[in-house]
């Protein structure tokens, strides 16, 4: 059995029901960035962050794909593509399914599918799953940490789960990955996705 493994998970799209009239995204997805070398991912984010601070000569906050310039997106994704990491995604086409009244149950369903993809053959001594916040409030965070913990117990996985914000550099990194998947599916633009395509282990469209 190998050592520790880190899995950073982020969503893209919304949980509303899609209609042809618009208002909600057609796709909701969860992307995951996995690695045994967390520090390498953090260095990628820090490198891009520090270069932006030097360029603009002011303090820069957390990196967030949707608000960054094209060059910044491409640079970070290119750096990640050169590191020892694995990328996974589960993509829901909401045009082909109904979103339940409890919308977070859709998030939960997709999250469990993603964990199965990422960890079904993982032989790490300890897996750290770090989720971006799926909502606000302590109750929501506890709901998803409990969900993942129960999944780990059923599957015999030694797992530590936490819910964090973008202060976690691994979540900043996977935010760019999830955003690139969203561009591919929602906007039919796979230019960003192609940067890291060789790192994609599994990409599951549902239904």
Cα angle 160, 166, 170; round to 5: 55
pLDDT along the chain (207 residues), means of 10: 89 94 93 97 97 88 96 98 98 95 92 94 90 78 91 92 94 98 98 98 95
* Domain boundaries of the chain, sorted by first residue: 2-206
The full 3-state SS of 83-125, as one line of letters, equals CCCEEEEEEEECCCCCCCCCHHHHHHHHHHHHHHHHHCCCCEE
pLDDT, position 136: 58
pLDDT, position 183: 98
Name the CATH architecture for the domain at 2-206.
2-Layer Sandwich (3.30)
Task: State the Cα–Cα distance between residues 169 and 144, nearest whole angstrom.
Answer: 20
pLDDT, position 4: 96
3-state secondary structure of 6: strand
């Amino acid at each position: 059995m190998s050592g520790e493994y880190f899995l950073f998970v982020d969503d893209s799209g919304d949980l509303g029901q899609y209609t042809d009239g618009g208002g909600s995204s057609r796709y909701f997805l969860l992307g995951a960035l996995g690695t045994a070398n967390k520090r390498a991912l953090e260095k990628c984010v820090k490198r891009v962050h520090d270069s932006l601070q030097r360029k603009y000569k002011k303090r820069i906050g957390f990196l967030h794909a949707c608000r960054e310039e094209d060059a910044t997106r491409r640079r970070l994704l290119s750096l990640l593509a050169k590191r020892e990491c694995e990328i996974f995604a589960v993509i829901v086409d909401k045009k082909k399914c109904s979103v339940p009244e409890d919308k977070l149950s859709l998030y939960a369903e997709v999250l469990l599918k993603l964990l199965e993809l990422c960890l079904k053959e993982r032989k790490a001594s300890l897996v750290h799953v770090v989720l971006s916040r799926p909502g606000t409030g302590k109750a929501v965070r506890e709901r998803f940490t409990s969900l993942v913990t129960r999944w780990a117990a059923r599957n015999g996985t030694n797992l530590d789960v936490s819910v964090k914000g973008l202060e976690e550099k691994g979540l900043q990194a996977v935010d760019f990955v999830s955003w690139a998947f969203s561009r591919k599916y929602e906007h039919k633009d796979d230019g960003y996705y192609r940067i890291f395509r060789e790192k994609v282990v599994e990409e599951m469209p549902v239904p």
